[in-house]
Amino acid sequence: MKAISGSIVAVSSSELAVDSSVLAVRSSVLAVRSSVLAVGSS
């Protein structure tokens, strides 16, 4: 039972890591878009 719960915790932590990396990519894409808009407006 401990091994099962440990694997569940490992899977959930890896899912959190994937979610955080996806958020980082989205924020970087938004930053690039905003900089492009700023350059285009100027």
Residue in the block written with tokens 């894409």: 29
CA distance 41 to 14: 41
pLDDT in tens, the chain (42 residues): 788 888 989 999 999 999 999 999 999 999 999 999 999 988
Q: pTM higher than 0.75 for the full model?
A: no
42: helix, strand or coil: coil
